[in-house]
């Protein structure tokens, strides 16, 4: 019985350069989403308890732009055209809910970049894997900032999606 392939269950041996380019384009769309979300959220968060994280979100927005540029360069290197459309950005009037959206997005990004590193290495694209590792380090810092602002522990992504339930 054939195992269906998807972005979340592709093993390193099943990846091609073409498919890696497609997956990086999905990652690029998520980076665009993050840029937009961080720009908006950093400006609309209100309340004394959120001023520190609002300043951090401005920094995150600039870092996400750098990530988008790096990922675009890798997509071009693979011979594909970089995506131009962001994934949808969720907004809310509730500050905590906005931060939750951000944390959920960062969790997905961290999981995906961990996969991308393995996929790059399986293709012998070690320099690309290193570029993505550098991005991953900042994305994990974003997770820490957001979880801290929400008063939660940083989600444990090593055990899969079930580990993403907020701990209280």
Q: How far apart are CA 16 and CA 22, in angstroms?
A: 10
Domain range annotation of the chain: 16-155
pLDDT tens-place string over residues 74-133: 999 999 999 999 999 999 999 999 999 999 999 999 999 999 999 999 999 999 999 999
Identify the band that residue 46 occupies on the pLDDT scale cut at 50, 70 and 90: confident
Closest CA relative to residue 27, chosen from 95, 119, 96: 119
105 within 8 A of 30, measured Cβ to Cβ: yes
30 within 8 A of 39, measured Cβ to Cβ: no
Handedness of CA 79, 26, 167, 145 (dihedral sign): positive
Phi/psi at 49 (5° precision): -70, -15
pLDDT of residue 4: 40
Q: How far apart are CA 143 and CA 96, in angstroms?
A: 14
Convert 20-39 to b/e letters by CB count within 10 Å (16 or more is b): bbebbbebbbbbbbbbbbbb
Q: What is the CATH number of domain 16-155?
A: 1.20.1260.10
Length of the chain: 168
43: pLDDT strictly greater than 80: yes
**DSSP label at 92?**
-
Phi-psi region of 47 (alpha: psi -120 to 50; beta: other; left: phi over 0): left
């Amino acid at each position: 019985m054939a195992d269906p392939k998807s972005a979340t269950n592709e093993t390193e041996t099943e990846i091609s350069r073409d498919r890696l380019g497609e997956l990086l384009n999905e990652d690029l769309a998520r980076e665009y989403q993050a840029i937009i979300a961080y720009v908006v959220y950093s400006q609309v968060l209100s309340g004394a308890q959120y001023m520190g994280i609002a300043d951090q979100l401005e920094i995150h927005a600039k870092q996400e732009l750098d990530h988008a540029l790096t990922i675009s360069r890798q997509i071009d290197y693979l011979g594909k055209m970089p995506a131009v459309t962001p994934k949808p950005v969720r907004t809310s009037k509730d500050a905590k809910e906005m931060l939750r959206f951000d944390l959920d997005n960062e969790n997905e990004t961290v999981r995906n970049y961990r996969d991308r590193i393995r996929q790059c290495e399986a293709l012998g694209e070690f320099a690309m894997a290193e570029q993505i590792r550098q991005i991953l380090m900042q994305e994990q810092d974003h997770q820490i900032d957001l979880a801290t602002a929400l008063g939660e522990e940083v989600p444990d992504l090593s055990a899969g999606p079930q580990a993403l339930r907020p701990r209280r």
